[in-house]
Structure formats: C-alpha cells, structure tokens
Structure 1
C-alpha cells in the first residue's frame, strides 16, 4: 500500500470553470511554466509515484462555479491513473483545497470530521475543523478565537485487506507579516501569526490524541509550512508546530523519520521536500515542509518513507523525464509511505528515508 502527500502549486490554475484542463500555452501559476507544461509534468509525476492514495495540498478550487472532485477525477481520467476517485472535506476560500485522490479498488475513504460544531463564539478543546477554537494565545487570561483558513481533511480509511485508520490531511499556512509597513509592524504581525499557527497545531494535536485515545491508528500528512530551524520566532516560542503535531518525545508521539532527523540536528544536511525561487537573492531555497506522520500501529507494517526529490533521490535523478517533470510540476515534491496493509505476524519495523 502506498500513500502520498503532494503540494501542487496552483493546481487550480490548470482548470477552467467547467473543470476541464486548459492544457494550453498560457502561463500557469508556476514561474516560467505554461499550463500545458505543468499539466504534462503532473501527469508524469502522478503516474510515476503510482500511489493508492494521494493527499493533494492546494487542490483545485471549490466554489459555486468550480468543483474540486470533478476537476481531480477529470485529471485522473486524462492520464489513466489508478487513483481516480476524489473526496473533499470542508471547502475554503483560498483557492487551495485539501482533497484525497485514491484508488477505489484498493481503499475506501469517507469524510469523518470529529469534534463538535461551533458557532461564532467557538469552543475550547478540539472542535470540528470548520469551527472556531477558543484558546489563550498570549497568557493574558483572555481567550482568542482561532480558525483554520484551510480546515484539515479528516477521513476514515479502510484498505482492501481490512486495515482501518484515521487520515488527516493538513496545510498550515505560512506566517508572512502581510500588511506590515514598519519593522515594528513586521515583528508584531509575525508574532501574532506565529501564535495562531501554533494554536492550529495544538488543535490538530488534540484531534490526534482523541483518535489515539479511542484506539485508532492515525496518519497525518501534508504541508505544515514549519519545521525546526525555519522560523526566527522558534526560540521565542520554544518549539515548532511540527513538534507539537508529532507529540515530540511524548507517550503518544507520531513518527516521521525525516522530521526526526531534522529535529536531531540544527546544523548539517537534512531532508528537503520543497524548492523555492528567492528573487532578491537570485537563488533557490530548499526546505523540509511536507510530512507523513504515523502512529505506532504502522510499525508492524514495515513502513518505508520516500521523498521524490529530483536531485536527492537517485532513481528520480537518473530518470531524466521524471526529474524534469518533478521540477516543472510544483515547488514541492511528493512524499510517499509504503506499508503492508495486511497484518504482519512479527515485531519490529524497517524504514528508509
């Protein structure tokens, strides 16, 4: 069984209002990449990873004129993908949905949001992801109201062999200080945004703990836009949202070998899943932003992780067609986990990273 997470930069720009692929020479949302080039590149990448399920971050838009599920299923049909059925949870207004594209012959998946619905006043604890969380962000004895701009996609997944687990797709947004006009504004807005992202991580972790307390296996995957050493406010707040969601060093900690490697060191080489063009510096920046975290229930299923990085993965590098497609398709690269969906009658596990 193979599950992937893939942030597709401005996937929505490749579709018209009839949810059909443009597939033309107009520019896509990618720098110096046309819509036809990005579409073809994505077809190559999706076919190459051949996943049974792909959590798509920045999936096509869902609104009165656009349909995420129709767009994704049309894309899958165009490229003959096994993962040909799509499911969407709570839509958002950012044009970047979170959706699962999966093979219905291998798994069943249904939207299974947990927690209580809230009104505008919110609720404490771990309310439903489309609601509002009440939490004190700055220890001033006053509760703040926090919402997800992109509510996580919470699914109940069952494999053909009968393995059931809770899958949560997440996209925690970046903390850029939009609207700042002075250095003081940048600091104030940056700290505020950091607090909100950590609150979202706490909210997500509470939902994870609820599933674990109920005895469910859990997989959390997506783009967390954060990680050890990536943020100037990390020392101020003490830990990253990645550590919070992992439950780092806690009794119910999730596992991701790439995150573990990054957390074990501050200087030196570490895995990366994304490559961004930094115009003022005239160079590219690479970062570890995409994760697949799993509970200990996966340990006996021989989990094996892989980052499909065109420069770091030998097979991706040696396949020129795939290498070029990975570069053209998105500023993120897919991350996959392979595991045995049938119970293995032995203890222990193995991993590759």
Structure 2
C-alpha cells in the first residue's frame, strides 16, 4: 500500500492569475501585475507557486484561496505542475477566493476515478445558520463566506477516505480605526469564526462520526482555519477558541480530531504546549508599525476512526530542501507556508 502525501496550502489570491469569468479560461499576460500583489507579475507568481508544489511532490493538494473555476485550477496544474492531475473548485457565489483540490493521477496511487466530489452548495448544513455564539441570549445569523470543499478519495490499493477543505472567517482587520471600534471589529470577526467552527463540529463532524453510513470512513479536515491553539486577547473576551471548538469536546474524546503537526512536535513541546516556533503564516502587522508577525493558523486535522497512525509526518514547510526559507527560494509564492502529511488509509 503506497503512502499518499497530502498538502494543504493557502496559495494567496490564485484568482488573480486568470482572466474574467465571462471569458474562456486563460492566464493573464505574463507581465501583468496581480491585483493583490502589484509588486510581482503573473509569470513570477506562477513560477513560485508551481516551484513549491514540484519540489514537495504531493499526491493531493488542498488549495485555499483558489480560483473561481475548475477549468482555471486545471489549467494551472496542466501547464505549470509536473504530472497529470484532476482538479475541482468548490465555488461560492460572490467569492473570488474558493477552496479547491488537485489529485495526481499518473503515479498509480488512485483508482481510474480518483475522486468523488460532494457539492456543498447543495448541503443544507453549510447554508446560513443562527446561533448564540457567546451565550448572551442573542441569536445571531452567520454564513460561510467560502463553502467547504468536501470530497472522497479512492486510493489503489487502500480504503477510501474523505477530505474536507476549509477557509474559515479571517481575523484580519485591514483598515485604520479608532481603538474601541477596532476591538469591536476584532470581536465580531472572532464571533463569526467561532460560530462557523461550532456549527461544523455540532452539525457536521459529530453527525459524520456517529452516522452509520460515515462513522467508519476516515476524514481529513484541513485548510486555513484562521485560528490556532489557545485564546488570543479578543477570544478571551468571548470565552471561545474556534480551533479547539472544531477539534472537539474533551467529554467526547472518541470524536476529537488529531492534529498532524502537533503529533510531529518534540515530546517536550507537546508536554509544555510550546508552540512559539510553530507557525504557518507570516505577515506585516499594520497596527504595530508593520512588524512581521507569525501565526499557526493552517492545519491538517484527522478523525481517529482510521487505522493506527494513519496520518503521520505533519510538517510545515517554512524552509525548502536546500535549507533556504520558502520566501527566499520562491519569493512570489504566498504569505502562508504549505503543510504536508503522509496518509496510510489501510485496506
């Protein structure tokens, strides 16, 4: 049974690489400047993004901030990435950042039909919802800005498993505000993020892991969660962590998710919950004079209903094989670092 290497990566505004939705699928001109990265070019971004993928050689890529159309993602993988691929984009109406998936089909690791995709636009559990997020007796209405990607993969040989790709509500505040208003926006963003994680756990994951038709099918939950371990200053005000809500309740340990990167940390780091050197994104903080901040907000999580150690080798690739930082080797790639893990689905 071959090991399947999965990569989860926020590829940062991939939609900028392509022309308008009402035109045939095509890249923008090589020398054009992407709207959200004006200091680079389409050609430079394509070369850096594909360079990372070609070096890490994954079998499955979960794409966060993917393009609007499946044909666009397919064009990128067909043109710029080594091997043969089958792709899919889970489109969300009105979005220009969508979740996508690419499965490599020329290595003999998957069946002739490598993937079955479930359109989450047709699943009521991912529609707008109401919830009292912070137990203040006020019912709030929320939605998923970007619908999750949900797919079933068919290894050969090996048992099938499923994958859910997430890009939850961003905490980012990208304008200048009076301090009290800034805090209100920060709390509001975290409420939305916590609400999304809560409904994913209560209405999807708990049901998935207890329903007869899915309880024995292992599931990967990966992507840009926009949250990490513990409570930041704003989360302390609403008494909730989206990440820990998503992973599950200690009162139902058999339903909790594992974290591939945590599993790979040194024993002392795990014992002390020391995550100071663990980060998956790096960005300038406009509130603090553009100081570079580092956060662990991208994750590969997994259910515990698979074979023993069915997910292993969780790695955040801040450096490439040469020892160079990713942003040195591939300077036009992304402000997020890719995460990989090895999957051994059994069977």
- 1:275: how far off? 1.5
Q: Is the contact made by 1:274 and 1:332 (CA closer than 8 Å) also made in structure 2?
A: yes
1:72–1:202: structure 2 CA closer, same or farther, 3 Å change rule?
A: same
Superposed CA offset, 1:138-157 (max 9, x none): 43444322110111112122
1:300–1:278: structure 2 CA closer, same or farther, 3 Å change rule?
A: closer
Residue 234 (structure 2) aligns with: 233
- 1:26: how far off? 2.8
Q: 2:200 matched to 1:211?
A: no
TM-score, structure 1 as length reference: 0.81
Alpha-carbon RMSD across the aligned residues, in angstroms, is 2.8
Residue 180 (structure 2) aligns with: 184
Matched position secondary structure for 1:134? strand
- 1:60: how far off? 0.9
1:265–1:32: structure 2 CA closer, same or farther, 3 Å change rule?
A: farther
Q: Is the contact made by 1:87 and 1:101 (CA closer than 8 Å) also made in structure 2?
A: yes
In the alignment, the residues of structure 2 paired with residue 278 and residue 236 of structure 1 have an alpha-carbon distance, to the nearest angstrom, of: 21
Superposed CA offset, 1:87-128 (max 9, x none): 1234242310101111245342222257985xxxxxxxxx42
Q: 2:299 matched to 1:295?
A: no
Q: Is the contact made by 1:10 and 1:96 (CA closer than 8 Å) also made in structure 2?
A: yes
Alignment match of 1:47 (pick from 46, 54, 66): 54
Matched position secondary structure for 2:52? helix
Matched position secondary structure for 2:323? helix
Gaps of 5+ in 2: none
Question: What is the 5 A alignment of 1:56-135?
Answer: 56-61=63-68, 68-82=69-83, 84-104=85-105, 106-107=109-110, 108-112=114-118, 117=123, 127-129=124-126, 131-135=127-131
Of residues 334-343 and 197-206 in structure 1, the stretch that sits farther from structure 2 once superposed is: 334-343
In the alignment, the residues of structure 2 paired with residue 140 and residue 290 of structure 1 have an alpha-carbon distance, to the nearest angstrom, of: 30
TM-score, structure 2 as length reference: 0.82
Matched position secondary structure for 1:291? strand
In the alignment, the residues of structure 2 paired with residue 113 and residue 13 of structure 1 have an alpha-carbon distance, to the nearest angstrom, of: 24
Alignment match of 1:202 (pick from 177, 198, 205): 198
- 1:176: how far off? 3.9
Q: 2:245 matched to 1:244?
A: yes
Residue 14 (structure 1) aligns with: 17
- 1:2: how far off? 0.8
Paired residues in the alignment total 322
Superposed CA offset, 1:15-48 (max 9, x none): 1233322352232333632221111111211111
Q: Is the contact made by 2:6 and 2:61 (CA closer than 8 Å) also made in structure 1?
A: yes
Matched position secondary structure for 2:164? strand
Gaps of 5+ in 1: 62-67, 118-126, 344-353
- 1:316: how far off? 4.8
In the alignment, the residues of structure 2 paired with residue 97 and residue 137 of structure 1 have an alpha-carbon distance, to the nearest angstrom, of: 25
In the alignment, the residues of structure 1 paired with residue 28 and residue 54 of structure 2 have an alpha-carbon distance, to the nearest angstrom, of: 20
Matched position secondary structure for 1:187? helix
In the alignment, the residues of structure 1 paired with residue 330 and residue 297 of structure 2 have an alpha-carbon distance, to the nearest angstrom, of: 16
Q: Is the contact made by 2:88 and 2:102 (CA closer than 8 Å) also made in structure 1?
A: yes
Q: Is the contact made by 1:278 and 1:285 (CA closer than 8 Å) also made in structure 2?
A: yes
Q: 2:37 matched to 1:30?
A: yes
Superposed CA offset, 1:311-353 (max 9, x none): xx6x2525x8x6634432000111011122444xxxxxxxxxx
